[in-house]
Amino acid sequence: MAIAVAPVRYPIVCPTLPHPAEIHEEFAAILAGGRVTVGQQVSLLEEEVCARLGVRHTIAVSCGTAGLMLLLKALELPRGSEVITPSFTFAATAQALLWNDLAPVFCDSDPETFTLDAAQAEALITRRTSAIFPVCIFGVPGEMEAYQRLAEQYGLALLFDSAQGIGSTYRGTAVGNFGRGEAFSMSPTKVVTAMEGGLITTNDDELAALLRRMRDYGKGPDGQEMHWLGLSARIEEVNALIARWSFARLDIWAANRTRIMEMYKARLAEIPGISFQMIPAHATSTRNYVVIQIDPHEAPFTRDALYAYLKEEGIETKRYFYPALHSQVLFRDIEPGCAGRLPVAEQLAARGLALPMYSHMPLEGVEEISDAIVAYAHRI
């Protein structure tokens, strides 16, 4: 007999968007002007991101995955070479490698920050390695200095999947300033949303110029002849307008999300076996997700049992990131048997549950969700 599932009362994510009246004039101007891609709104967005992050160049693109694909292609890494990247990340990280005929080499994660383990990464470097490709996990940057040291010591390219990291910092420097370049997402699930969109940031003048060409098919200076292999990755003016509205309120969103995170921590503290991602003292996070780890040996319930219970209560959660990439159908034949060196990634994937979190989420909702989890813990 099928179990009745309650209507969703609290979605796992919900984009924080402007009221139509707030952007009516700019939206009308876009339609009246006829320049619907890579126009004034895109230029203003790129300038504002550069000013806020302190980076030389921002290239706005149609989505974060397109940003990853273009950044990898622009770096001209040898075809078939190996790129070290975490297994505990979203699929787009490794998909961008495969699209570029590069071989992902899956690396384990730090058990507290969930980010790429630099020591493990060093052990995976071979003569076939061309790059290190860390990820900003749930808004928390990894060991940036250690990654840079490895890149310099072994002559490797260093780039970042910072899809979830807009507004985060490492030792006082904004994420967006590290390595050869970083790619951000502005999808509906992100702190700063364009509805759909992405950003590439870099302090490399030549790389930035190339990326601007590549987001428009790879056109040469005359706009007709193709000089590079690119994509149709232009971002629309309307999306840039939404992104500008959202980006201007980044500090508000981060403060709201911090309050939400702290309330979850306080109200779930009484339940044994539940832990949260650690944010190092030298870093800040805009908290793209709140993901709890549930230890099945200490908690009164398993991750999957809580997932099912909350679904029945109309509270949407997500097993995240799950499965770890090396176990997914698309990637599991890349290096069969690599699971033995990825115990942390496997544990994080098996225990992680993302709880509802969005920038305009009322604290009353956090209370209700937390109370439901506590009640379930007491009931079983």
Gap between the Cα atoms of 121 and 170, Å rounded: 20
301 and 312 fall within a common domain: yes
Q: What is the percent of the chain with per-residue pLDDT over 70, rounded to a whole number? A: 99
- The three-class DSSP label of residue 213 is helix
- Which of residues 194, 225, 247 is at a domain's end? 247
pLDDT at 288 over 50: yes
Residue 159: pLDDT band with limits 50, 70, 90:
very high
**pLDDT tens digits, residue range 98-155?**
999 999 999 999 999 999 999 999 999 999 999 999 999 999 999 999 999 999 999 9
Give long-range contacts, CB 8 A cutoff, 24+ apart: 97-105: 97/72, 97/133, 98/330, 99/69, 99/72, 100/69, 100/72, 100/73, 102/72, 102/77, 102/130, 102/131, 103/128, 103/334, 104/325, 104/331, 104/334, 105/129, 105/335
123 and 194 fall within a common domain: yes
Contact between 108 and 85 under an 8 Å Cβ cutoff? The reply is no
User: Residue 39: how many CA atoms within 13 Å on its side-chain side?
Assistant: 16
Tell me whether residue 370 is in a domain: yes
CATH of the domain at 300: 3.90.1150.10
| Parallel/antiparallel/unpaired status of strands 129-132 and 82-86 | parallel
What is the predicted pLDDT for the residue at 1? 42
**pLDDT tens digits, residue range 16-64?**
999 999 999 999 999 999 999 999 999 999 999 999 999 999 999 999 9
What is the predicted pLDDT for the residue at 6? 77
What is the predicted pLDDT for the residue at 175? 98
Question: Which of 16, 362, 360, 42 lies closest to 188, judged by CA?
Answer: 16
Tell me whether residue 4 is in a domain: no
What is the predicted pLDDT for the residue at 157? 98
Tell me whether residue 121 is in a domain: yes
300 and 200 fall within a common domain: no
- Domain range spanning residue 88? 21-247
Question: Which of 367, 264, 356 lies closest to 307, judged by CA?
Answer: 356
Structural domains of the chain, count: 2
Tell me whether residue 16 is in a domain: no
220 and 231 fall within a common domain: yes
Could you say which DSSP state residue 158 is in? E
203 and 260 fall within a common domain: no
What is the predicted pLDDT for the residue at 4? 55
**pLDDT tens digits, residue range 178-226?**
999 999 999 999 999 999 999 999 999 999 999 999 999 999 999 999 9
pLDDT at 172 over 90: yes
170 and 294 fall within a common domain: no
Burial of 44 (0-12, 13-18, 19+ CB in 10 A): middle
233 and 257 fall within a common domain: no
Tell me whether residue 6 is in a domain: no
81 and 175 fall within a common domain: yes
- The three-class DSSP label of residue 210 is helix
Q: Tally Cβ neighbours within 10 Å of residue 72.
A: 23
Across the range 315-338, mean pLDDT stands at: 97
pLDDT at 5 over 80: no
Tell me whether residue 211 is in a domain: yes
Across the range 73-79, mean pLDDT stands at: 98
231 and 368 fall within a common domain: no
pLDDT at 297 over 60: yes
3-state secondary structure 17-86: CCCHHHHHHHHHHHHHHCCCECCHHHHHHHHHHHHHHCCCEEEEECCHHHHHHHHHHHCCCCCCCEEEEE
190 and 296 fall within a common domain: no
Considering the entire predicted model, what is its pTM? Answer: 0.96
222 and 367 fall within a common domain: no
Gap between the Cα atoms of 250 and 191, Å rounded: 7
Question: Which of 162, 97, 111, 121 lies closest to 349, judged by CA?
Answer: 111
193 or 380, which is more confident: 193
CATH of the domain at 115: 3.40.640.10
102 and 169 fall within a common domain: yes
